[in-house]
Each structure stands twice: as C-alpha cells, then as structure tokens.
Amino acid sequence: MKILVCISHVPDTTSKINFANDNAKFDATGVQFVINPNDEFGLTRAMWFKEKQGATVTVVNVGGSETEPTLRKALAIGADAAIRVNTAATDGFSVAKQLANVVKDGGYDLVIAGRESIDYNGGMVPGMMAGLTNANFINNCIGLEIEDNSVKAVREIDGGKETLSTSLPLVIGGQKGLVEESDLRIPNMRGIMMARQKALTVVEPIAANVETISTKFEKPAAKGAVKLVSPDNLDELINLLHNEAKVI
C-alpha cells in the first residue's frame, strides 16, 4: 500500500502572532513552525501501517524552501520520502490542485491529510483533493483500519461517532483520535541522522487559479479588566452583574 501524508507547515500555538503591511500579511519573523497537529496524527497512523503492513509512506507539502525543516522532521519520524511542491500555499483550491497532481503522478492508494490546518482553519483541502482525484473521502476521521482493499473507518459526527465501510483509493481528513496523543512520536537521534539521507524531491507546480486572497487580518479584542469581588459582599456582586455586566 502506498500512502501519501499531506503536511502543513504551521506556526506553533505558543508563538506570538503579528501582521505586517498594514495588517495585510502574516509576519513570520521570529515564529517557530511545526507539523500541523491534525497532520501529525495522520502521520503517526501512517507509520502504524508501515510497521504492521509494510506500507510505504511519503510526505508532501506545498510551500517554499522554508518548509523543508518540517518535512525533514516527518522523515525523522519515519516517513520514507518527501516531496515539496515549490510554490506558496496561497489558498485551499490551489493547494488541493497541486496535491491532487502529486497523488495522480504517484499512484497512491491512501492519502491522509489533516481535516484542517491550525493557521487558516479552511478545512477544504482534503475534500477538494478527493474530488479532483475521484477518490472516496471520509472527513473528521478518528479511526482507520485497512485490510487489502477494504476500509473500515470511524468519523466524528454531531453527538457521536459513525462507522463507515469503503474501499481504496481513499482520502481522509484526520484529526485527534486517529491515534492517541501518547502515540505521537518524537524524532530520536538515529531518525534525525537517517532523515538526512532520505530523498526530498522538489517538484515545480502546475498551473492553478488562486480563488481566494487574504486582504486583511485582525487580532481578537484584548481581554477586558477583571473586577474581583469579596465572597462576603454578595450585594456588590449582584449590583455589578445587574447594572454593569447586564447579565441579570
């Protein structure tokens, strides 16, 4: 089984986010980038298929050379090879089209992507990719078992879980639950050294229209000041809730 894992290069959640050019562009200065968490769950599940069923695992990213350290980390975790599509990840449709072209050229049986990236939270790339490659698609996937060509998957739905049966080729949008957090892997020294010897192929992009453009960013409003009321002064608390907060 040939598996392709899509890797987004996203800011660490602990990074301080700023914008430049009159809030029209994300400022990457001083920001630490990591593997998108939803993609990391998918990569870990792909490694399970590699170890248990002999699958080959390739990781792919759409982005410039600055994303290569993230791909190298995926190789250090255990992926066999990496592909970087040499163009900026500008919007969901153009990214999906680049990835779909890699899928078609590589003849992959299973494509694992995160249900969304934690930077823009578009949540559209896996479904678009499945449509462009005529593959089956399961989103919000939290369980995946494959035997030969048969697939049993579990996805999260409102109020519960749904178990589905389908077949390869398949694209999934994975998330937390696809593996346990305790199963996520940290590259060891041997993996880091081996990653240097693994193939990282850079391919040029195909023509793809950019359908959406970010015009302006805005940070959430700062949290307001907090007033502390003594637990012995309930009258003041009620007065503040009624006349100032206006919640009662």
Q: What is the pTM of this model?
A: 0.88
- Quick: pLDDT tens for 197-215: 999 999 999 999 888 888 9
H-run or E-run covering 161: strand 160-167
Q: In the predicted model, what is the mean pLDDT of the chain? A: 94
On whether the CB atoms of residues 175 and 115 are closer than 8 A, the answer is: yes
Q: Is the model's pLDDT at 247 over the cut of 90?
A: no
pLDDT over 90, % of the chain: 80
Q: What local confidence, expressed as pLDDT, does residue 147 receive?
A: 94
Q: What local confidence, expressed as pLDDT, does residue 220 receive?
A: 87
On whether the CB atoms of residues 137 and 170 are closer than 8 A, the answer is: yes
Q: What local confidence, expressed as pLDDT, does residue 221 receive?
A: 86
Q: What is the DSSP letter of 116?
A: S
Q: What local confidence, expressed as pLDDT, does residue 54 receive?
A: 95
The SS3 of residue 76 is helix
* Domains of the chain and CATH, by start: 2-220 (3.40.50.620)
Q: What local confidence, expressed as pLDDT, does residue 223 receive?
A: 83
On whether the CB atoms of residues 164 and 155 are closer than 8 A, the answer is: yes
Q: Predicted confidence band at 193 (pLDDT cuts at 50, 70, 90)? A: very high
Q: Which of 168, 181, 115 is nearest to 3 (CA)?
A: 168
Q: Is the model's pLDDT at 138 over the cut of 90?
A: yes
- Quick: pLDDT tens for 75-131: 999 999 999 999 999 899 999 999 999 999 999 999 999 999 999 899 999 999 999
Q: Predicted confidence band at 244 (pLDDT cuts at 50, 70, 90)? A: confident
